[in-house]
Amino acid sequence: MHIQYKNILITGGAGFIGSRLALRLLEEGHTVTVLDNLSPQIQGNNPEHDSPLYKSIAGKVIFIKGDVTKRQDVENALVGQDAVIHLAAETGTGQSMYQIENYNRVNVSGTALILDVLVNIPNTIKKFILASSRAVYGEGKYVDDNGVFAYPENRNSVAMQQGNYEMTDVEGNLLKPVATDESSKLHPTSYYGLTKLQQEEMVKLVCSSINLPFVILRYQNVYGVGQSLLNPYTGILSIFSTQILNGQDINIFEDGLPSRDFINIKDTVEATARSLKTDLANDEIINVGTGIPTSVLTVAEYLANLYGRETNIKISGEFRIGDIRHNFADLSKMKALLNFQPGVSFEKGIDEFAKWVLTQPLHENNFQNSLDELRSKGFLKS
């Protein structure tokens, strides 16, 4: 029999995914509590007045300005809740390589604290949903000319400096990317990916030990209307849009052909809401994506065309340590367990996104500063 989850806690619920999910659950009659620290990197320096994300849920949810790394905040937020959807995390792949302690504190220790409270303090939680990431896979799944699957390790910096970006086997033969399923090898190439894998392992172990049903959702690259235009560390659609509208060149890493699985926020929210409702998802790990790879160069060209600006798309050959080449999701489990298939095509989603961006104030998102940081730490090379 399906359990009704009336009261839902969303950690990070004022963020891009969390705020949209909160509004969706409110429409369905849930009471939603949000625990969020209103990070300036995402929300700006005056979020209560200036952040569209925060303002979209203000006065509609029970809002607790607090932090998943603070025990009292977590204890307060969990009171009376039926389910937890844990979204709060630091999410910049490149930034994670040099803000190691911070990413560990928020992503790993924050998750550990929530689980510690669930184990040690009487509560009414009946389901735990973790927002994980395709970053746990590192490079995705590949196949060689003989049809043998391969999971290549990190790319060689010397080879990349020579313009050899694609994945190869040990003999130097090119490998072909294929859809990455949930049983694929897990070998993160960034510290962010490592923290998400640690989150997964903790949730599986602890929730299983206390008979608390859990769902782990491995989000691919989520984009869409409402995405933060301020954060220079994540979200290439937002970064490229800001550069184009500010009349700046777009710096495309490598040869422009790294690919990602871009899933629209509407489909992401739908999949997450379904994972809450159905018991079929309990104790499962599920990819949330479209299963369609799109190159970074394609994204830049689409946006430049939609904004109608003369934009210099510069394929720089630079590369970031920790970046992967390809990864797109196998959706078999999502379709079977959530009875869901994405409905927003990339063309439709990016068009909606661009139209929305044009209605927003134009900011400088300091992307160049983030690159300078990476370069100074030795994580951006050419």
Active site residues: 192
- Opening angle at CA 347, ends 257 and 227, nearest 5: 85
Tokens 């990016």 correspond to 350
Task: Give the integer Cα–Cα distance in Å for 344 and 124.
Answer: 36
370's CB contacts (< 8 A; 6+ apart) are 92, 94, 95, 232, 233
Q: Are 36 and 63 in contact (CB under 8 A)?
A: yes
Q: For residue 86, list its beta bridge partners.
A: 11, 130
Spatial CA neighbour of 271 closest among 202, 331, 352, 338: 338
Tokens of 220: 């691919």
Tokens of 7: 């009261």
- Give, for 151, the enclosing helix (H) or strand (E): none
Q: Are 260 and 235 in contact (CB under 8 A)?
A: no
Q: Are 115 and 202 in contact (CB under 8 A)?
A: yes
Q: Are 94 and 371 in contact (CB under 8 A)?
A: no
Q: Are 283 and 213 in contact (CB under 8 A)?
A: yes
- Give, for 122, the enclosing helix (H) or strand (E): none
Q: How far is CA 179 from CA 260, 268, 329, in A?
A: 11, 18, 5
- Opening angle at CA 288, ends 287 and 290, nearest 5: 110
Tokens of 110: 């924050």
DSSP 219: E
